[in-house]
Amino acid sequence: MSILDDARALAESGPLCDACLGRVFADKSFGLTNAERGRSLRVAAALDADEPFEPVETTDCWVCEGRCAEFDEWAERCAESIDGVEFGTYQVGTRTPPLIEENELLLREGAGLDEDAGELFKSEFNREVGKRVGQLTETEVDFSRPDVQFTLNLEDDDVETRVHSAFVYGRYRKLERDIPQTEWPCRECDGSGYQGKQTCDYCGGSGYLYDESVEQLSAPVVLDVMDGVEALFHGAGREDVDALMLGTGRPFVIEVKEPRRRSIDVEQLEGDINAFAEGKVEVEGLRLATYDMVERVKELDANKTYRAEVEFGDDVTEEALEEALAELDGATVEQYTPHRVDHRRASLTRTRDVYSATGELHDARHATVDIHGAGGLYIKELVSGDEGRTNPSLAGILGVDAVVTALDVVAVEGEEETFEDEEFFKQGE
């Protein structure tokens, strides 16, 4: 059969609008809408048979039940649902009523055509409404991770609008000790501030073990600037609460849920955060990032450089320290789960490499030691030996007790590639 014969067979099924007729032939020719295809076929069939041309009103169509006349209306509803929200990309999806899906199948079966001939009603609705949304909002469609997702529920006559999160990447330095990276709820009252009806004695009613965190000194500023509903802090690992984070800082991402603003001045934001943190925390290198940057920050293998102030239980000579550090330099270390974290870590032996170890003896009982090692290397235990759980250790090699009295992290870098890959940033921002 010819394409005109197929078109006639389809048209004989009942009142069929141009879009539903043309949609069956969506894979034929280019540069036409389905409605234009359908009308052209209807005209050509009438001319070929020398019969009167009989147009069909879209509202009378038995397949789409008039839905193909509603593209403009649904696009306007999408635009209205996002009024006041700043976005650059979007995607449109459609929940097709089961009756229309069944009608589409019956249409093709009745004409003896494959059930998947052309394209589905859902695909056309997405495209036609999507084109109009882009024109109304001056934004671009994005089929991967758009700023906004519109879902058109035709059966319930509803537009579901989802504003996806925005992401800000940077590095932070923590300049005071006893500040955790993220909020640390009190374990005694589960963060409520109360034990029964009484104020929690353990946290003083604050609900937190620490009054401030890197998260609390940065995320609220980003949340306010982007006008979102919630901000989440994602860090590339974390330093101990009593350790400083210095040098080039630790990579992090702040995720803002349902932001109303996305085009922000990151340099101004950086200054705002640093002013808000009052010298306790500093951030730098802020950039708008993609959704995938969260996983990168959390999962990219990283090495770290530490500076530890060490106190020995007996006198140590400069020569002995140099020899001990030379033995650790390049060593593969086995560490059974340390005592201090065994309440939250699985009990197992981890193998980590020390890339370099250097140090300076200040007096017979005190030294500064610099360790560059693989991610997950427990530095305090590398120094102390942790009662034999870490081997080799500085204490074990020297044959004296050794304890870290102050610890600073001075660098966190990707093991094989940098965190700051341009692929993970919003381009041109």
Which residue positions form the known binding site? 306, 378
User: Of 147, 240, 386, 408, which one is the catalytic site residue?
Assistant: 240
Phi and psi angles of residue 175, each rounded to the nearest 5 degrees, phi first: -105, 0
- Max Cα distance, the chain (Å): 111
**Residue 83: which residues within 8 A CB-CB, separation 6 or more?**
none
Instruction: Report the DSSP beta bridge partners of residue 414.
Output: 302
Q: Say if residues 249 and 202 touch (Cβ distance below 8 Å).
A: no
Distance CA(281)–CA(239), nearest Å, equals: 13
Distance CA(355)–CA(7), nearest Å, equals: 73
Distance CA(119)–CA(25), nearest Å, equals: 8
Q: Say if residues 251 and 417 touch (Cβ distance below 8 Å).
A: no
Hey, what are 144's tokens? 């991967």
Query: What residue has token string 């330093």?
Result: 239
157 belongs to the catalytic site: no
Query: What residue has token string 């076929």?
Result: 41
The length of the chain, given as a count of residues: 429
Active site residues: 240
